[in-house]
Amino acid sequence: MVPNCLSGCRYSIAVNDIAAISIWAVSWLAVLISATGAIEPTKRDIQYAVVADKPLLLDLYLPQTPATNRPLIVWVHGGAWRAGSKQDVPIIALLNDGYAIASVDYRLSATAKFPAQVHDIKAAIRFLRASSNQYQLNRDRFFVAGSSAGGHLAALVGVTNQHQPLEGTLGEHLNQSSKVSAIVSFYGGSNLQSILSQSTPHGLKVRVPALELLLGGQPEQQSALARLASPVAHVDQHDPPLFLIHGDQDPQMPINQAHELHGAYKQNRLVAKFEVVHGGAHGGKEFFEAEMIARVAQFLREVSTTP
């Protein structure tokens, strides 16, 4: 049985059973624990808002080491905007670096069209900022991260601070800011107006029906909405640092989506890091293994200390 912890556990291992355990194996164990769901949230099913009498929920994971003023990563799951849940948290190993993680459920596209998803995530951030004393969070060190469709939504949330059509009016904490200090996008989209022209045949099979649900039509039919939903259309000199992680063999989310957002950041002379996973497809262990998680932690530390 795998103990329900990432650090601080004591293991009794017979010499005849295991001669040696490498650093890589110990680190990868954390990812496996996450994948099997063995890590339980510190606070499960926290209600951050209500829509049409239905509660919107998040799970909050806190580092085991007692601390105050914890930095927070708001995690946005993927699933082509129409599937997935807050139970998928592949960055759980960042708890070891002292980060709290809030994994957010948002309205899926079969239930609500865009921009409902962004309204929900921003409402969750405002709720968490309002609750920062209760959960001992550093309200000035909130980050947003996500994978695939979640990476797209995380980027969009990050580059649209105080953009009223995307802020929405959801939740009880409209006096709080939804601003974040950095964005991490794992193989996320950035331009819904160009994504189909960049896609492989396999990618089209995924994205065409997904965009139909999200936008209520294809991007050329819903051009204004597709532009509103595209992070590249909102980048300006006030946006937070960005870390893009994308596989160069991604058959679902074209790597050109990452290139576009990276280019928009460089054009505005903003802090941006682009990590290409050579041979990487759409997700997989190479995106969340110990070395990559360490790079994410290092990036967040660096941008937190940048004047």
The CATH number of residue 138's host domain is: 3.40.50.1820
Residue pair 209/238 in contact (Cβ under 8 Å)? The answer is no
In a domain, 21, yes or no: no
Q: What is the pLDDT of residue 6?
A: 38
Number of domains forming the structure of the chain: 1
Q: Of all helices (H) and strands (E), which one includes residue 142?
A: strand 137-147
Please state, in angstroms and rounded to a whole number, the distance separating the CA atoms of residues 227 and 163.
Answer: 14
In a domain, 4, yes or no: no
Q: What is the pLDDT of residue 67?
A: 77
In a domain, 86, yes or no: yes
Q: What is the pLDDT of residue 152?
A: 98
Q: What is the pLDDT of residue 38?
A: 52
Q: What is the pLDDT of residue 17?
A: 38
Nearest CA to 114 among 49, 252, 211?
211
Q: What is the pLDDT of residue 78?
A: 97
Nearest CA to 265 among 242, 246, 248?
242
In a domain, 3, yes or no: no
In a domain, 20, yes or no: no
Domain that holds residue 166: 41-305
Classify residue 267 by burial, with Cβ atoms within 10 Å: 0-12, 13-18, 19+. Answer: exposed
**How would you write the pLDDT of the chain (307 residues) with one tens digit per residue?**
333 343 334 333 343 333 333 333 333 334 434 443 458 899 999 999 999 999 999 999 999 877 789 999 999 999 999 999 999 999 999 999 999 999 999 999 999 999 999 999 999 999 999 999 999 999 999 999 999 999 999 999 999 999 999 999 999 999 999 999 999 999 999 999 999 999 999 999 999 999 999 999 999 999 999 999 999 999 999 999 999 999 999 999 999 999 999 999 999 999 999 999 999 999 999 999 999 999 999 999 999 876 5
In a domain, 9, yes or no: no
Q: What is the pLDDT of residue 304?
A: 87
Please state, in angstroms and rounded to a whole number, the distance separating the CA atoms of residues 300 and 154.
Answer: 15
**Residue entry with tokens 């940048």:** 306
